[in-house]
Amino acid sequence: MKKRIAVLPGDGIGKEVVKGAIEVLQAVGERFGHQFQFSYGKIGGSAIDTAGTPLPDETLELCKDSDAVMLGAVGGPKWDQQPPHLRPEKGLLKIRKELNLYANLRPTQYYSSLSDTSPLKNEVIEGVDMLMVRELTGGLYFGKPSERTQQNGKDAVVDTLFYQKEEMRRVIKLAFELAGSRRGKVTSVDKANVLESSRMWREVADEIAKQYPEVALEHMLVDNAAMQMIKNPKQFDVVVTENMFGDILSDEASVLTGSLGMLPSASISENGPYLYEPIHGSAPDIQGKNAANPIAMILSAAMMLRLSFGMEEEAEAVENAVNQVLEAGYRTRDIVSFGKKVVTTSEMIEEVKATL
């Protein structure tokens, strides 16, 4: 097969980890006889510096013209003092909206080889295998008004949590679809004892559950979910929630297994292209030091093979290669523990390629 991939390295360690995914994909191409064509675009701080905007039109055009998008990471202290519309993150929010990426999927998985690096006790996380499904284009992130205002002559401010019912439906439906091919459980997280939007969310979840009798639905309040995630993460299979709750809970989930530098994500739209990015940020402190962990980006590429290209065997080959390299004791600095071999970013990439 021939596939066109838009590559947006972004800022910080973005460039370094994207390189890893590309090299691994090239190796996959050779082994399985596919042709991957990579075209580069700018986003985030590097786009602000060169084009004066965090998401140039050419980048957007490039993405729309591609079969899938790979994104490194955006942001850095250099742009922290910019006005809101000239921040790197705006590029990320805009590309989500423009490509209609309504759902962000983040698997969190236990790696026995990494349990030393987790802050949690091994018996708590052993066997954790959870998929967070976060609504990505609605809620507080995009609701209007979002502005300074006055109340009785006093300074005030307002943000707006807005959802169309249909936006809830499509992401919750997706969660049920995904649960069907996993352990068959959906935990829908909301704050129905306070928010009207959460009460609608709960109704929609109940409605959709009727269409999936083989999937069990459980409702959980967001504050309780923040507790349960730590106390007993094994109880979760698929977790689905709105944008802001998802932002918080998926980051919480990502540190449980001690493998933040290894966790991939996929953002899904109705008609493609999908976008793949690691969960970690741009880590400006280690930029250029050949110290970043490329695995999250490499596993994001594996998700792309599976979800965008239907290449299940190829995806598994990449995932297996990563596993074997970890089992063999190779570690970048972020996941190192006693007795393991510390390697650089490029050495880790080489190991994965060689194992493939």
Ligand X SMILES: CC(C)[C@H](C(=O)O)[C@@H](O)C(=O)O
Query: Which positions are annotated as active-site residues?
Result: 141, 191, 223, 247, 251
In the complex, least distance from residue 167 CB atom to ligand X, rounded to whole angstroms:
16
Count, residues near ligand X per rule CB under 6 A: 7
Establish whether 232 is an annotated binding residue: no
In the complex, least distance from residue 24 CB atom to ligand X, rounded to whole angstroms:
23
Backbone angles phi, psi at 54, to 5 degrees: -70, -15
Burial string for 133-170 (b: 16+ CB within 10 Å, else e) reads bbbbbbbbbbbeeeeeeeeeeeeeeeeebebeeebbeb
Task: Tell the residue number behind the tokens 């360690």, with chain if given.
Answer: 13
Nearest to 303 by CA among 40, 24, 14: 24
Residues 57-96 that bind ligand X (CB under 6 A): 89, 92-93
Whats the size of the chain, residue-wise?
356
Chosen from ligand X, a second copy, none, partner binding at 161 (C-beta under 5 to 8 Å by type): a second copy
Stretch that binds a second copy, among 113-121, 291-299, 308-316, 347-355 (CB under 8 A): 113-121
230-269 mask for a second copy (x: CB under 8 A)? xxx-----------xx-xxxxxx-xxx---x---------
Chosen from ligand X, a second copy, none, partner binding at 271 (C-beta under 5 to 8 Å by type): none
Helix 14-32 with 345-355: angle, nearest 10 deg: 10
In the complex, least distance from residue 323 CB atom to ligand X, rounded to whole angstroms:
26
Establish whether 16 is an annotated binding residue: no
Nearest to 105 by CA among 279, 236, 252: 279
Establish whether 169 is an annotated binding residue: no
Q: Does 194 bind ligand X (CB under 6 A)?
A: yes
Contacts of 168 by beta carbon, 8 Å cutoff, 6+ apart: 135, 200, 201, 204, 242
Q: Does 310 bind a second copy (CB under 8 A)?
A: no
Distance in angstroms between the alpha carbons of the first and the last residue of the chain: 19
CA distance 53 to 43: 8
Q: Which residues are near a second copy by CB under 8 A?
A: 84, 87, 89, 93, 118-121, 124, 140-141, 143, 146-148, 151, 154-166, 191, 193-197, 199-200, 222-224, 226-227, 229-232, 244-245, 247-252, 254-256, 260
Q: Which residues are near ligand X by CB under 6 A?
A: 89, 92-93, 193-194, 223, 247
